[in-house]
């Protein structure tokens, strides 16, 4: 399919082409503008600061959900600094850069990962993906509907920070998981992202996960401080999920390019990822996805 017209913000050879994977490309209904956004639950994982373990959380949370029987479509939306393929030990031949060039469809770049996880990989060091405009980001988001028939939920790992792409994906989500660590810079940047999303009209408060906590007390203090500031200045009540402890098993698994579950299934971090998956399951997948694939569930208000 051809790219959006120049009036939609085309940029020559780097313009985004969404190529339909099925249907008659000559029909008007096949144009991405006619598609809706995904109808399965959309979970976006974000952080105000880099280096807080957001992508590691996204990868392991998706695998934990897969272990429970969910079919997870994991999307690497850190478009130009991708890492999910490395964290899962996958070697994709094509990625979103090829979709942007109109060379591949989203179906064609999807790669099967561990435990029922399907990955949409992004590129690393691709400047044309670093700052997608709103039209192309919306087309990409709608393009995911072409894959939702084989997914119970979609997990999107964003870039860190407060870029337009990050906030747009958060605002499109059914549930936002905000990741921070106990360090003050991460705490401050997490609040900054939360404040921006609030001002842009985020309908539901994000859910907070404190990662790399040295102790349960440290995680509780961090979540309490963030929650206090959010209530006082944003009138926002945060729900804090179980923290992920600082665990040497995590960097060791990263070096092996494997999920923590595969290498250290009995580690404290693996237990925390399972707890987060159980919490997420109860919110977005109240029915057994292995049994009922015809009725995808939406989040309750």
Task: Note the pLDDT of residue 291.
Answer: 45
Residue 150: φ, ψ to 5°: -105, 20
Return d(Cα 79, Cα 158) in angstroms, integer. 8
Residue 231: φ, ψ to 5°: -70, -40
- Low-confidence stretches of the chain (pLDDT < 50) are 1-16, 22-29, 291-301
In terms of phi and psi (left: phi > 0; alpha: psi -120 to 50; beta: otherwise), the region of 286 is: alpha
* Alpha-carbon distances, residue 216 vs 119, 139, 158 (angstroms): 32, 42, 27
Per-position b or e across 72-86, b if 16+ CB within 10 A of its CB: bbbbbbbbbbbbbbe
pLDDT in tens, 98-135: 888 889 999 999 999 998 899 999 987 766 676 777 88
Cβ atoms of 165 and 129 closer than 8 Å: no
Task: Determine which helix (DSSP H) or strand (DSSP E) holds 212, and give its type and residue range.
Answer: strand 207-213
In order, the DSSP letters of 116-185 are GEEEE---BS-GGGTT--HHHHHHHHHHGGGGGGG-SEEEEEEPSS--HHHHHHHHH-SEEEEEE-SSHH
Structural domains of the chain in order of their starting residue, each with its CATH number: 49-284 (3.40.50.300)
- Write the burial class of residue 24 (CB in 10 Å: 0-12 exposed, 13-18 middle, 19+ buried): exposed
Task: Note the pLDDT of residue 128.
Answer: 67
pLDDT in tens, 173-191: 999 999 999 999 999 999 9
């Amino acid at each position: 399919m051809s790219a959006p017209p120049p009036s939609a913000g085309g940029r020559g050879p780097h313009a985004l082409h969404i190529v339909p994977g099925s249907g008659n490309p000559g029909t008007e209904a096949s144009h991405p503008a006619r598609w809706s956004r995904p109808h399965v639950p959309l979970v976006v994982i974000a952080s105000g600061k880099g280096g807080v373990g957001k992508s590691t959380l996204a990868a392991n949370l998706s695998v934990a959900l897969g272990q429970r029987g969910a079919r997870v479509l994991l999307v690497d939306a850190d478009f130009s600094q991708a890492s999910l393929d490395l964290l899962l030990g996958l070697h994709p031949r094509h990625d979103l850069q090829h979709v942007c060039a109109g060379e591949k469809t989203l179906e064609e770049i999807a790669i099967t990962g561990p435990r029922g996880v399907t990955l949409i990989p992004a590129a690393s060091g691709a400047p044309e993906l670093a700052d997608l405009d709103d039209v192309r980001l919306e087309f990409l988001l709608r393009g995911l509907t072409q894959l939702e028939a084989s997914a119970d939920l979609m997990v999107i790992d964003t870039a860190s920070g407060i870029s337009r792409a990050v906030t747009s994906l958060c605002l499109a989500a059914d549930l936002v998981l905000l990741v921070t660590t106990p360090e003050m810079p991460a705490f401050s940047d997490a609040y900054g992202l939360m404040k921006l999303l609030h001002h842009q009209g985020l309908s539901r408060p994000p859910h907070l996960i404190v990662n790399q906590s040295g102790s349960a007390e440290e995680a509780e203090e961090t979540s309490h401080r963030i929650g206090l500031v959010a209530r006082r200045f944003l009138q926002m009540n945060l729900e804090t999920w179980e923290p992920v402890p600082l665990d040497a098993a995590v960097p060791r698994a990263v070096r092996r390019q494997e999920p923590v579950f595969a290498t250290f299934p009995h580690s404290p971090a693996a237990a925390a990822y399972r707890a987060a998956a159980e919490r997420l399951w109860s919110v977005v997948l109240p029915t057994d996805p292995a049994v009922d694939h015809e009725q995808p569930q939406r989040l309750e208000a």
